[in-house]
């Protein structure tokens, strides 16, 4: 699996605070089936985003990471004027793996009326918008029509793995299901911040998607689309979402046995 949104780098935002915790998060991700883990520190008014510092911390994490997992850089980009101007000058500073996909977080307090126009400026510079955890945003939960509009304009939506398990509450779970039912969810990522409350695991969400929707949808959201984002390649939505129910043991079950249902 490919996890495009996590906060495992130590001491630079509200995620991992020590190198030990960071290393344990990477080990946890690898042991539960993640093969690419994207570091996406916040870029907002509270946390300064420095790609050189991120690269240094990534190299340190890679030096002690277990075999079988690849660590790459991105950021949790907040829609602010300073960020927009900086991204227009150097898109690769913020995008996933320096390619074209940009993780975008919106405020829980207000949705700018010109959000789509601001995104268009970034898109005109070659970036593709992935809106993170809309199911956790109380304003967006009341405006699914706006999400439909944004998706129709070519933007992507990323759900949080723990939302599917009910760990962000019933409203986040219910809205996740609405987005999934309407084909408005394109990625699932952990948005991991620690080892317990918000761990770097996708396997349980993969199993949940396989059980409630289909293994094919789980594969698209947890493997195929995230891998395309890391590689900077196009995402084909011509036959999305797949609707066939799961008819065989899930990929996670075949790989890891009963652990996927734990």
Angle (deg, nearest 10), helices 19-31 and 51-64: 60
Average pLDDT by stretches of 10, the chain with 262 residues: 98 97 98 98 94 96 97 96 96 97 95 95 98 98 97 97 98 98 98 97 98 98 98 96 61 50 38
73 lies in which domain range? 2-261
Q: Which residues contact 260 (CB under 8 A, 6 or more apart)?
A: 203, 204, 206, 207, 250, 252, 253
Q: What is the pLDDT of residue 69?
A: 98
Q: What is the pLDDT of residue 134?
A: 98
Q: What is the pLDDT of residue 253?
A: 52
d(CA 204, CA 259): 9
Q: What is the pLDDT of residue 124?
A: 97
Q: What is the pLDDT of residue 260?
A: 41
Question: Quick one: tokens of 210?
Answer: 């396989």
d(CA 16, CA 132): 19
Measured between alpha carbons, how far is residue 111 from residues 83, 170, 186, 196, 212 in Å?
Answer: 17, 23, 21, 31, 31
Model confidence, pTM? 0.91
Q: What is the pLDDT of residue 262?
A: 35
Q: pLDDT (tens digit, 9 = 90+) per residue, 36-70?
A: 999 999 999 899 999 999 999 999 999 999 999 99
Report the domain count for the chain: 1
Q: What is the pLDDT of residue 252?
A: 54
Measured between alpha carbons, how far is residue 220 from residues 140, 164, 178, 237, 240 in Å?
Answer: 24, 16, 18, 10, 9
Query: For residue 153, what is the domain's CATH number?
Result: 3.20.20.140
């Amino acid at each position: 699996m490919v996890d495009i949104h996590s906060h495992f780098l130590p001491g630079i935002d509200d995620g991992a605070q020590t190198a030990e915790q960071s290393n344990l998060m990477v080990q946890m991700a690898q042991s539960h089936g993640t093969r690419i883990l994207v570091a996406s520190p916040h870029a907002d008014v509270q946390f300064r985003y420095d790609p050189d510092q991120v690269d240094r911390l990534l190299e340190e994490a890679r030096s002690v990471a277990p075999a079988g997992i690849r660590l790459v850089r991105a950021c949790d980009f907040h829609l602010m004027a300073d960020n927009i101007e900086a991204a227009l000058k150097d898109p690769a500073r913020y995008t996933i793996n320096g390619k074209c996909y940009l993780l975008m977080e919106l405020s829980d307090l207000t949705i700018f009326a010109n959000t789509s126009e601001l995104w268009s400026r970034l898109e005109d510079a070659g970036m593709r918008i992935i809106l993170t955890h809309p199911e956790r945003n109380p304003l967006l939960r009341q405006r699914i029509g706006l999400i439909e509009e944004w998706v129709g304009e070519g933007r992507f939506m990323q759900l949080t793995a723990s939302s599917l398990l009910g760990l962000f509450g019933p409203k986040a779970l219910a809205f996740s299901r609405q987005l999934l039912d309407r084909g408005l969810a394109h990625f699932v990522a952990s948005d991991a911040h620690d080892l317990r409350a918000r761990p770097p695991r996708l396997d349980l969400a993969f199993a949940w998607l396989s059980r409630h929707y289909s293994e094919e949808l789980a594969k698209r959201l947890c493997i195929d689309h995230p891998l395309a984002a890391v590689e900077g390649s196009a995402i084909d939505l011509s036959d999305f979402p797949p609707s066939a129910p799961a008819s065989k043991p899930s990929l996670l079950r075949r790989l890891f046995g009963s652990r996927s249902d734990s």
